């Protein structure tokens, strides 16, 4: 049920992004943008579309906001993979953008994908101007130096810090690095309907942290072939992770408690929120 909804959302999002990037200049930077937005789980875009559906907003409307957050997420991955950042050669089972093309193309493709994200949020199909503007404002904050970029900067600083991060510090880091965008995604559907985003915000805060803990567990236990990226790199770099701080069993227990917290936040929506309930459980059980 969740898997079907995720796949359906992914298909719509991919079509929307391909359409947005059609008829562009025949340049490396445009080819790299198309490549960078292909594949991925589309978890963020799915959250947008499912949160919208819960509020009576259909996919033909919400897909533009879902595509926007996936374009923004894709930009962050392209830049994170750069040699001066995480220096990764593999992403989603394929060469990263700077490996397939070059670093300049990766910087520029990421930059243009961020612009594209904001352009998509201005589309008339998303409804009244005030609501679109709330999405733009929220995404700009979630992406910037008080959200995702701050989290990434803290992550890089942690690599050269004298002491490993504490649990509070790593929680704050992840709230920025992955949490801010996941939260925006979950709240976007409510904003599109002019509804209160607070329940979905609580859901997303717990989900985002559970997702990161699951990622740390996968980093230790996973299969690089299935994950489509290099694994075990945090432990190899001597960086603190939820697993190093809580132990494998402790991390699993914390993720489970967070999933219960996420599920509790969905109570106001009743059975309508079943797919989001499944999503929360799936995130910590994933083998993807």
Binding site for its own copies (CB under 8 A): 24-25, 27-30, 33, 75-76, 79, 82, 84-85, 102-105, 107-108, 110-112, 114-116, 118-119, 121-122, 128-130, 132-133, 136-137, 139-141, 143-146, 149-150, 152-154, 156-157
Task: Give one DSSP letter per residue of 53-113, joined into a string.
Answer: HHTT--HHHHHHHHHHHHHHHHHHHHHHTSTTTT--SEETTEE-HHHHS-HHHHHHHHHHH
Please identify, using beta-carbon distances, which residue of 107 and 231 lies nearer to its own copies. 107
Q: Least separation, in Å, of the C-beta of 147 and its own copies? A: 8
Please identify, using beta-carbon distances, which residue of 84 and 257 lies nearer to its own copies. 84
Closest CA to 79 of 71, 67, 120: 71
Q: Least separation, in Å, of the C-beta of 148 and its own copies? A: 8
Q: Least separation, in Å, of the C-beta of 247 and its own copies? A: 30
Q: Least separation, in Å, of the C-beta of 133 and its own copies? A: 5
How far is 3 from 129, CA to CA, in rounded Å? Answer: 33
How far is 126 from 122, CA to CA, in rounded Å? Answer: 8
Please identify, using beta-carbon distances, which residue of 21 and 288 lies nearer to its own copies. 21
Please identify, using beta-carbon distances, which residue of 50 and 234 lies nearer to its own copies. 234
Q: Where are the beta strands (DSSP E) in 204-253?
A: none
267: CB partners within 8 A, 6+ apart: none
Q: Least separation, in Å, of the C-beta of 111 and its own copies? A: 6
SS3 222: coil
Please identify, using beta-carbon distances, which residue of 113 and 210 lies nearer to its own copies. 113
């Amino acid at each position: 049920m969740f898997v079907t909804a995720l796949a359906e959302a992914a298909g719509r999002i991919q079509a929307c992004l391909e359409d947005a990037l059609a008829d562009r200049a025949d340049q490396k930077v445009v080819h790299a943008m198309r490549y960078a937005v292909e594949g991925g789980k589309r978890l963020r875009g799915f959250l947008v579309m499912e949160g919208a559906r819960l509020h009576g907003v259909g996919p033909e409307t919400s897909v533009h906001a879902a595509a926007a957050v996936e374009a923004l997420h894709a930009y962050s991955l392209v830049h994170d993979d750069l040699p001066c950042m995480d220096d990764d050669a593999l992403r989603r089972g394929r060469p990263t953008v700077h490996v397939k093309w070059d670093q300049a193309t990766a910087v520029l493709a990421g930059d243009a994908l961020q612009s594209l994200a904001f352009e998509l949020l201005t589309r008339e199909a998303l409804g009244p101007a005030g609501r679109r503007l709330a999405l733009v404002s929220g995404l700009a904050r979630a992406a910037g130096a008080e959200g995702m970029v701050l989290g990434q900067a803290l992550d890089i600083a942690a690599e050269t810090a004298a002491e490993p991060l504490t649990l509070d510090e790593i929680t704050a880091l992840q709230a920025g690095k992955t949490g801010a965008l996941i939260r925006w995604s979950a709240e976007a559907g409510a904003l599109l309907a002019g509804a209160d985003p607070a329940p979905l915000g609580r859901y997303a805060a717990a989900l985002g942290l559970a997702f990161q803990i699951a990622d740390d567990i996968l980093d230790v236990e996973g299969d690089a072939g299935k994950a489509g990226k290099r694994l075990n790199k945090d432990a190899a770099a001597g960086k603190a992770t939820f697993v190093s701080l809580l132990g494998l069993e402790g991390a699993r227990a914390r993720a489970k408690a967070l999933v219960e917290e996420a599920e509790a936040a969905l109570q106001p929506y009743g059975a309508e929120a079943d797919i989001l309930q499944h999503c929360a459980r799936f995130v910590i059980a994933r083998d993807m």
